[in-house]
Structure 1
Amino acid sequence: MSTQDTTPLDVERIREEFPILSRRVGGDVTTPGEGPGDETPLVYLDNAATSQTPDRVVDVIADYYRSYNANVHRGIHSLSQEASVAYEEAHDRVAEFVGASGREEIVFTPGTTEGMNLVAYAWGLAELGPGDEVVLTEMEHHASLVTWQQLCKRTGAEVRYIPVDEQGYLDVDAAAELITEDTQMVSAVHVSNTLGTVNPIADLADLAHDHDAYLFVDAAQSVPNRSVDVSDLGADFLAFSGHKMCGPTGIGALYGREHVFEEMQPYLYGGDMIRKVTYEDSTWEDLPWKFEAGTPNIAGGIALGAACDYLDDVGLDRIQAHEEQLTEYAYDRLTEFDDVEIYGPPGDERGGLVAFNVDGVHAHDLSSIVNDYGVAIRAGDHCTQPLHQKMGVAASARASFYLYNTREEVDVLVDAVDEARQLFA
């Protein structure tokens, strides 16, 4: 029997923890928050790019700088000891959040992109060569696609792509043919930041492991809004970013199986990641510090742990259910217009975003018009240029939802889109 708790969120109470959502925007604003044109309530629907941060997480950052600001692992004085304990416990908290076995499997990075690059260069440079293959999906974010593409150019390995069908689903049958004995790494996005597609990661893991390949999961769009367990997924590596999950910018985490991390050489060299240094050679510190050279983002790491606490307190199952309900509602409302094209699976089979275009209206113009209604959405290729080329468009508009959004905000978006349709009719 399911143990999921999908009781409705108290969205109004949640919104009180995010003061920025009370802002009014628009007009000729020269000073943020103080311009004379601040007269339209903010409708923030750009959560796939960056979520907002609740007071309790902001307070954790402020408390670090006000109360125990010091470098970690560098001193025996009280402030350094307090900072070190808090920073190390944050690793433990993040490990628990994604089902890792312990802090040894969690490396703090500036975000998903550097997590990708860490594995590509610390593992890939040593392991890949001519005749080897890296298998990606056609819906990969540039953080994955460009990283593996360029590494394969350097090593002589080949990149192969699992196709996406016309509805935005991954072709799993093609994946079974593409993943072979020559495959060394499969890298797949968990939830597409353009299509909203939720990919069958566990199936891809089985295919990869059947051929002794590793699976890297880009979980930037899934860890913030659903329960993610690295063991259930079968992930060998998994990366995500704090700024998409109610945490600060400039911090993220990379999960890696401990025995694989042990075999890998460091990606960055410098202070804190070393055990012993002589003029002739160096040895490395234990995991995870082996991969965290220099002074880390201490406040960000501690706040990332606090963001995990916050999301667990609200309830990830409830957040996922709320997001999916809003997404299906937005999908249904937008499909009322016969000149709006939505990309990806049906509204009840996707993550919490909708990417779309209005016939005759460029996505950038659409974003500008809805901004006049106070609605913040994304416009562009969403770091998926090849996917947009496959879809036959240069750009799309994207509305993405989170725990503090409401159906009424979706209605404001739809009214604004309708206004754009009429202006360009």
Structure 2
Amino acid sequence: MDVRAIREQFPILDQEVNGHPLVYLDSSATSQKPVSVIEALDEYYRLYNSNVHRGVHTLGTRATDKYEGAREKVRRFINAESTSEIIFNRGTTTALNTVAWSYARSNLSEGDEIVITYMEHHSNIIPWQQAAKATGAVLKYIPLQPDGTVTLEDIRATVTKRTKIVAMAHVSNVLGTINPVKEAAKIAHENGAVIVVDGAQGVPHLKVDVQDLDCDFYAFSAHKMCGPTGIGVLYGKRALLEAMEPVEFGGEMIDFVGLQDSTWKELPWKFEGGTPIIAGAIGLGAAIDFLNEVGMEEIHEYEEKLAAYALKQLRTIEGLEIYGPEERAGLVTFNLGDVHPHDTATVLDAEGIAVRAGHHCAQPLMKWLDVTATARASFYLYNTEEEIDRLVEGLLKTKEYFGDVF
């Protein structure tokens, strides 16, 4: 993988921040965008900006072809069986809420169980809390091992015949843990439950095959995979989606509207009410083209090397505590002694290094780690070992600046 050539395709990386060359280590929050994605968005607005599906004029036809072409690109990218299983929406949060509102509330009864883990992002906790409150279901948590992983034994011990939904992150946005989704799906199905996967940190970094995983629902966002903000995907098995009711009503998702009742369009459009996120979908399609050109296996292997290098180098810093397992996705979450992670991030920013600090929308996990917040450096295909060296240098300067707390 030619990282130098890849970096040249990301114009935002060629700048200085606070007098230093930018080191962007916050791709788990949002990734940067290559020129091809930026140009695809520009081309849509410049050359064929129009609404989709409704018009027969040339611009409308072009926009519709590009929009639906992006759906086919997503289908191939995650190996869904049909484009009818690909629902465009605002992102992972919207996708998970759609399942919690439409599927969960129609299929849960008092005493049924929803099973999740302590490492979930708030977007994969709160919708299930609300579904449990609305239906009388019970929310249960799979315990974590000391290194922040889950075992199949613990999954089997937590999932029972009363379990109706298992919801799990493919990759933890804090620990970098890659969860055994395929095996968890098998356990869920053996107990008559469905599995919902938060793939926000999975799809950008792993080659995902939803049919091989046998997941029932899979959610992800474009902006974490080199695409634009405001667009995401809900994959669902066709039979499940067909049985679900829409959660948003209005134009585009209807078949026939009468004075007292209405009927819905077929999949996937019954879940895409109103004018869809046309430019976003086209940008997502361009991002998929870019990632396919590089190769998802190559991206994953490269990020594994970066993570291993980062762990090795960061462990040379006395007083730095690292959270999560040895084998992980491309991120490292840490605390530098008693320095608050916001202070750590502020000093690093003065050196031109962008990291994330806070609870990372994972407060139950912070409580499990017995911390209030952490700092996180997350890597993507455009990062380098030299940038990790810059991070180490920045942390040593941070340690020197706050020397009185060590």
- Please report the TM-score for the alignment, with normalisation by the length of structure 2: 0.98
- Aligned twin of 1:123: 103
- Aligned twin of 2:249: 269
Percent identity of the aligned residues?
A: 50
How many residue pairs end up in the alignment? 403
Matches within 5 A, 1:163-202: 163-202=143-182
Shift of 1:172: 2.4
| Alignment pair present for 1:397 and 2:375 | yes
Cα distance in structure 2, aligned partners of 1:332 and 1:74:
56
| Alignment pair present for 1:228 and 2:208 | yes
Cα distance in structure 1, aligned partners of 2:151 and 2:340:
30
- Aligned twin of 1:30: none
Q: Which of 7, 13, 36 pairs up with 2:5?
A: 13
- Aligned twin of 2:357: 379
Cα distance in structure 2, aligned partners of 1:297 and 1:23:
30
| Alignment pair present for 1:158 and 2:150 | no
- Aligned twin of 2:193: 213
Alignment partner of 1:410: what SS? helix
Q: Deviations over 1:64-89 (max 9, x none)?
A: 11111011111111111111111111
- Aligned twin of 2:231: 251
- Aligned twin of 1:32: none
- Aligned twin of 2:69: 89
Q: Which amino acid aligns with 2:112?
A: D
**8 A Cα contact 2:81 2:211, kept in partner:** no
Cα distance in structure 2, aligned partners of 1:95 and 1:301:
13
Cα distance in structure 1, aligned partners of 2:125 and 2:245:
23
| Alignment pair present for 1:358 and 2:336 | yes
- Aligned twin of 2:118: 138
| Alignment pair present for 1:416 and 2:406 | no
- Please report the TM-score for the alignment, with normalisation by the length of structure 1: 0.94
Q: Which of 258, 261, 264 pairs up with 1:284?
A: 264
- Aligned twin of 1:331: 311
**8 A Cα contact 1:105 1:287, kept in partner:** yes
**8 A Cα contact 2:25 2:354, kept in partner:** yes
**8 A Cα contact 1:360 1:424, kept in partner:** no
Q: Which amino acid aligns with 1:257?
A: K
Cα distance in structure 1, aligned partners of 2:166 and 2:322:
28
Shift of 1:153: 1.1
- Aligned twin of 1:22: 14
Alignment partner of 2:125: what SS? helix
Shift of 1:124: 1.1
Q: Which amino acid aligns with 1:47?
A: S
Runs of 4+ that moved beyond 2 A: none
In structure 1, the gaps of 5 or more residues are 1-8, 27-38
Query: Which deviates further from its counterpart, 162-171 or 45-54?
Result: 162-171
Cα distance in structure 1, aligned partners of 2:109 and 2:230:
32
Alignment partner of 2:115: what SS? strand
**8 A Cα contact 1:60 1:306, kept in partner:** yes
Cα distance in structure 1, aligned partners of 2:318 and 2:54:
62
Cα distance in structure 1, aligned partners of 2:192 and 2:334:
39
RMSD: 0.8
Alignment partner of 2:157: what SS? helix
Cα distance in structure 2, aligned partners of 1:232 and 1:168:
25
In structure 2, the gaps of 5 or more residues are none
Q: Deviations over 1:386-405 (max 9, x none)?
A: 10011010000000000000
Cα distance in structure 1, aligned partners of 2:335 and 2:398:
11
